[in-house]
Amino acid sequence: MVTPNNPADNKPCPCGSSKAYADCCAPYHQGDALPQRAEALMRSRYSAFALQEIDYLKETLWPKYQPGFDHFATAKWAAENHWAGLKILATEMGEVGDRQGTVLFEARYLAGGSLNTHRELSLFRKKSGRWYYVEALPEV
């Protein structure tokens, strides 16, 4: 959680935007702002894994899937890995005026001494003006 005058707020955001965390994903994690594009939500979710903001991961999951969210397992997995970088490979739609969009990304993380890459094509949808992560899609 971000606190006033926290030195961590000035560190680079884990999402790879080149901005300070306080000027990037922190307002989303704190509930002070909503991501306006699907890519911004994707980046903020990656940062949430890296910073163990597990409640944010649940809140940004498509509402239909929130009741089945496993907080403990997600927190354990996020804590057991060292998040090493996010690379956005492609986006389709997901802009301010859209209701749906996809983001193809690669998230790198260290687990058990090995560098792993998670590649995913994610579907995002907007409901009541807010973007949500829906699911991973098969890559075509």
Residue 75 lies in a domain: yes
Average pLDDT over residues 101-123: 96
Predicted local confidence at residue 15, as pLDDT: 96
Q: Give the tokens for residue 104.
A: 């193809």
Predicted local confidence at residue 95, as pLDDT: 98
38 pLDDT tier (thresholds 50, 70, 90): very high
Domains contained in the chain, number: 1
pLDDT at 4 over 80: no
Residue 1 lies in a domain: no
Residue 2 lies in a domain: no
2 pLDDT tier (thresholds 50, 70, 90): very low
Predicted local confidence at residue 6, as pLDDT: 56
Cβ(62)–Cβ(133) under 8 Å? yes
Exposure string of 17-52, with b = 16+ CB inside 10 Å and e = fewer, is beeebbebbbbbbeeeeebebbbbbbbbbbbbbbbe
125 pLDDT tier (thresholds 50, 70, 90): very high
Q: Note down the domain range covering 123.
A: 7-137
CATH of the domain at 84: 3.10.450.50
Average pLDDT over residues 99-121: 96
3-state secondary structure the chain: CCCCCCHHHHCECCCCCCCEHHHCCHHHHHCCCCCCCHHHHHHHHHHHHHHCCHHHHHHCECHHHHHHCCHHHHHHHHHHCEEEEEEEEEEEECCCCCCEEEEEEEEEEEECCEEEEEEEEEEEEEECCEEEEEEEECCC
